[in-house]
Amino acid sequence: MVAPNELAPVDITREFDFTEADFRSLAQLAYEHTGITLADSKRNLVYSRVSRRLRTLGLTSFKQYRSYLARDDNSGEIENFINAISTNLTKFFRESHHFDHFRSHVAGSFAHSSRGSTGGRLRVWSAGCSTGEEPYTIAVVLRKEVPDILRHDARILATDIDTEVLAKASRGEYPLDSIDQIPKSYLPFFAETDGGGGARSVVVEREVRSLITFRRLNLLEAWPFNGLFDAIFCRNVMIYFDNPTKSNLVERFTQQIRPGGWLYIGHSESLTGTHPGLRLMGRTIYRREA
């Protein structure tokens, strides 16, 4: 590892001074607040994204920005920094095999069980929901498989650390081409609308939106709920964490899933070793043991 050095050479083609110490300091700050590990390969990403904050604040160097972040009265800027370095790449029905499994083992089971017919409880958590495509996909599957879902005690919690993407997610409005890969049977849950400026967009059906509660949540902090979930989706989030952080998070997820419930993780993710409370049941699909 290269030691931090305030005198490290600066790329003269860059708009702002950005030293080795700047990168190390911001990477450490990101880790402390979010658990995200920023490898050296993310140096240009950090520069590009955080530069926008410097322009907004009228600062001329990353050293100034670090001093700005260190001020006691700048907790709001910490949130802006977290928003800037968070990666939000998602789409409807991403990793579709998860939703095939969810349809048959969670939604279908609920629809045909005595719980479902008597207005039982169903809870699903989309942890790291980004701009909302994942929880809306979960919701449309539930709406299709359980036509009277609104009569039941069924809720989806959608959380993310980034307040900007949560604001977008709560609106439920997306570019028209975002539904190109959605199976046709789910298209009735999206209504085309005029997005302004001549652009066409789609809005998720109001009754689908009503199933979801969006909340800001830092996965590393205390979780403000006690009930257990029937399924947790945490996909393409843990790839940004180191192994100790990931192991701790998986343990907490396991304790938050009811026995027999499900954990879905991203296609490029894996658990660090085996977990006594989880059994691998399919590609990146785990079941909580009794």
Catalytic residue among 17, 43, 49, 155: 49
| Both structure tokens of 124 | 């699903």
Sign for the CA dihedral angle at 285, 209, 140, 156 comes to: positive
Instruction: Single out the catalytic residue among 160, 162, 235, 288.
Output: 160
148 is catalytic: no
Q: How many residues does the chain have?
A: 290
Q: Produce one character per residue of 95-129: b if its CB has 16 or more CB atoms within 10 Å, e if not.
A: beebbebbbebbbebbbeeebbeeeeebbbbbbbb
C-alpha distances (whole Å) from 258 to each of 36, 89, 123, 239, 255 are 28, 29, 10, 25, 8
Whether residue 49 lies in the annotated active site: yes
State residue 213 phi and psi, 5-degree precision. Answer: -115, 120
Helix (H) or strand (E) holding 149: none
From 208, 215, 209, 227, select the one nearest 123 (Cα to Cα).
227
Dist. CA 290–CA 273, nearest whole Å: 20
CA angle 154, 160, 165 (to 5 degrees): 105
Catalytic annotation, residues: 49, 160
